[in-house]
Amino acid sequence: MSKVVWSIAGSDSGGGAGIQADLKAMHSFGVQGCTAITALTAQNSLGVESLNAVSTDVIEAQLLALESDMKASVIKIGMLANVQQIQLIAEHISRYKQSWETPPTVVYDPVAIATSGDALTEEDTVDALKTHLLPLVDVITPNTHETQLLTGVYLIGPDAVREAAEKLRAFGVQSVVIKGGHWDYPKGYCIDYCWHQDEEYWLGNESINTPHTHGTGCSLSSVIAASLAKGYPLKDAFILGKAYINAGLKSAVRYGEGIGPVAHTAFPHNIVDYPQVIEAGSWLGDELEFYVPDNYNYAAGFAPIEGDLGLYAVVDTIDWVELCLKHDVKTVQLRIKDADSPTLEQDIAKAIELGNTYGGRVFINDHWQLAIKHGAYGVHLGQEDLNVADLNAIKQAGLRLGLSTHGFYEMLRAHNYRPSYLAFGAIYPTTTKDMTGQIQGLEKLRHFVPLMKSEYPTVAIGGIDLGRASEVADTGVGSVAVVRAITEAKSPEQAIVNLKQAIGEP
């Protein structure tokens, strides 16, 4: 995918918000930021002194220049100063969506009021936005004031946030991110909301105490735009935006007499900057009155793994379990996807027994009840299982818990459970399982590993073969999990030796 992102927005002469913030945030995420400037503000850290709207002819000239040579995969729209600008931008976006081979994703940050409280649009623009622009927007990122301005909903609690998001969707917007920086609910926390493809996502962290927040809105939506251009799904882009802003707020400093700009750092690689994924039953979930189902069974802090996981074989028969253990694979998973297999319990019991015989760790995929019953070393579960498995029973029985993750959102959700290891997948395309839309690639793995390595043993899985094993191991990931690289090898015994060598396992 092209990594060009356009920002259609106003210039902030103070350098903290608008186009200036957008370009810095985009640069931090490794995309080429291009601009079409809609207004020149004379502004400093104390406020907006004047606003000069750029003529529609000049805006159009900028757009045409970019379109002829540097089409965007994502277009981020910020400040639009008047109705004529809204109509012009809507006309162009509509045409791009219909005629470009790859229609751009449109992220709209409806800049209306600066941090200083100064108005940045003419008053009659709201109707024009609703009629012309919002139906073309893929992701809207309003703050509390902007949400209220567009929807008339006063954001007094989570249900009001949901109602406002529904209203925005009724205007034709596809996905909604409502920034909670301006509500203090629950007290001392910053809570953000995302609605995308019939799912809602809530993120939260303790508020960062700094007055220097200028440009946070522009920067957050620019990170979302850049991350979408990089191929992250919206729920991951949302997380990255939050983490970037949190890191920036912690290093923000004053340059003038007033409110300083959020700092622009780099891709967030420090787990303390990442928000919490808020789930039902957690403290924040309770504060937000999330519905807690009857069979809710949250547990966190699972038994640790002794030593390194090493090469990790994921196989579906007892014969494979035995072959791997016999050839010194120290971690083996029995993954039987047929829950009705007449030999399921017998196979699980046998696999666990083999693990004891050969001194290897045997994890059981999915079938946690049988794993507990027969005393497995551990259980491997997917994200969907977290809602239904009795995690407390797994923990009480002393079994280790491995969790699958596919991207930042799932990784942070898994982190809520403090599992025994985290698996990142699918790194490459695979034929073993349908992983459409969930291929991470090495670049993302390089981001996941440093975030989680100090917290858990880490595992990479999906499409890893002998040729790829060493580049995967070079990311610093602790273990490499494979199915076909062993089960479809001409000589599985030799494949085990070669794979171990490739990942540097002694």
Ligand X SMILES: Cc1nc(C(=O)O)sc1CCOP(=O)(O)O
Which residue among 330, 462, 502, 503 contacts ligand X (CB under 6 A)? 462
Q: Does 381 bind ligand X (CB under 6 A)?
A: no
Q: Choosing among Mg ion, ligand X, ligand LCLJCK34, none, which partner's interface includes residue 333 (Cβ < 5 to 8 Å by kind)?
A: ligand LCLJCK34
Shortest distance in whole angstroms from residue 435 CB to ligand X: 5
Shortest distance in whole angstroms from residue 70 CB to ligand LCLJCK34: 39
Q: In which order are the strands placed within the sheet that holds 105-108? A: 47-53, 32-44, 4-12, 74-77, 105-108, 139-140, 175-178, 189-196, 199-206, 276-277
Nearer to ligand X, 121 or 430 (CB): 430
- Other CB atoms closer than 10 Å to residue 429's CB: what's the count? 12
Q: By the criterion CB under 5 A, which residues form the site for Mg ion?
A: 365-366, 382
Closest by CA to 219, choosing from 241, 234, 237, is 241
- The residue with tokens 């030799």 is 494
Shortest distance in whole angstroms from residue 403 CB to ligand LCLJCK34: 8
Q: Does 463 bind ligand X (CB under 6 A)?
A: yes
Q: Does 452 bind ligand LCLJCK34 (CB under 6 A)?
A: no
Q: What distance, in Å, lies between the first and last C-alpha atoms of the chain?
A: 39
Q: Does 365 bind ligand LCLJCK34 (CB under 6 A)?
A: yes
> Known binding site for Mg(2+): residues?
366, 385
Q: Does 453 bind ligand LCLJCK34 (CB under 6 A)?
A: no
Nearer to ligand LCLJCK34, 43 or 365 (CB): 365
CA–CA dist 466, 502 (Å, integer): 7
CA–CA dist 249, 264 (Å, integer): 9
Token duo for residue 431: 């034929």
Q: Choosing among ligand X, ligand LCLJCK34, Mg ion, none, which partner's interface includes residue 435 (Cβ < 5 to 8 Å by kind)?
A: ligand X
Which residues from 300-319 bind ligand X, rule CB under 6 A? Answer: 314
Site string for ligand LCLJCK34, 421-450 (x = CB under 6 A): --x-x-------x-----------------
Indicate left, alpha or beta for 121 from its phi (over 0: left) and psi (-120 to 50: alpha).
beta
Residues tagged active-site? 179, 213, 215-218
Shortest distance in whole angstroms from residue 417 CB to ligand LCLJCK34: 14
Nearer to ligand LCLJCK34, 333 or 475 (CB): 333
> Known binding site: residues?
333-337, 365-366, 385, 404, 430-433, 463
Indicate left, alpha or beta for 134 from its phi (over 0: left) and psi (-120 to 50: alpha).
alpha
Q: Does 192 bind ligand LCLJCK34 (CB under 6 A)?
A: no
**Segments in 258-367 forming alpha helices (H):** 283-287, 318-326, 344-358
Q: State the virtual CA torsion across 445, 447, 450, 453 in degrees, nearest 10.
A: -40
Q: Choosing among Mg ion, ligand X, ligand LCLJCK34, none, which partner's interface includes residue 468 (Cβ < 5 to 8 Å by kind)?
A: none
Q: Choosing among Mg ion, ligand LCLJCK34, ligand X, none, which partner's interface includes residue 261 (Cβ < 5 to 8 Å by kind)?
A: none
* Residue 412 φ then ψ, to 5°: -70, -30
Shortest distance in whole angstroms from residue 428 CB to ligand X: 7
- The residue with tokens 């081979």 is 101
Interface with ligand X by CB under 6 A: which range of 153-161, 242-250, 253-261, 480-488? 480-488
The Cα angle at residue 205 between residues 199 and 208, in degrees rounded to 5? 140
Shortest distance in whole angstroms from residue 297 CB to Mg ion: 17
Shortest distance in whole angstroms from residue 336 CB to ligand X: 12
Instruction: Return the residue nearest ligand LCLJCK34 (CB atom).
Output: 382
Are the C-beta atoms of 329 and 311 separated by less than 8 Å?
yes
Token duo for residue 259: 């409110």
**Segments in 292-428 forming alpha helices (H):** 318-326, 344-358, 368-373, 391-396, 408-415
Nearer to ligand LCLJCK34, 188 or 307 (CB): 307
Are the C-beta atoms of 20 and 10 separated by less than 8 Å?
no
Which residue among 194, 464, 469, 473 contacts ligand X (CB under 6 A)? 464
**CA 275 to mean position of chain CA atoms:** 11
Closest by CA to 475, choosing from 443, 502, 430, is 443
CA–CA dist 50, 44 (Å, integer): 11
Which residue among 106, 107, 153, 314 contacts ligand LCLJCK34 (CB under 6 A)? 314
Q: Does 351 bind ligand LCLJCK34 (CB under 6 A)?
A: no
Q: Does 331 bind ligand X (CB under 6 A)?
A: no
The Cα angle at residue 341 between residues 335 and 343, in degrees rounded to 5? 90
Q: Choosing among ligand LCLJCK34, Mg ion, ligand X, none, which partner's interface includes residue 305 (Cβ < 5 to 8 Å by kind)?
A: none
Nearer to Mg ion, 214 or 361 (CB): 361
* Residue 192 φ then ψ, to 5°: -120, 155
Nearer to ligand LCLJCK34, 47 or 233 (CB): 233
Q: Is 296 helix (H, G, I), strand (E, B) or coil?
A: coil
**What single letter denotes the amino acid at residue 322?**
E
CA–CA dist 4, 1 (Å, integer): 9
Contact positions vs ligand LCLJCK34 (CB under 6 A): 312, 314, 333, 335, 365-366, 380-382, 402, 404, 423, 425, 433, 459, 461, 481
**Could you list the residues that contact ligand X (CB under 6 A)?**
314, 404, 406, 425-426, 430, 432-433, 435, 461-464, 482-485
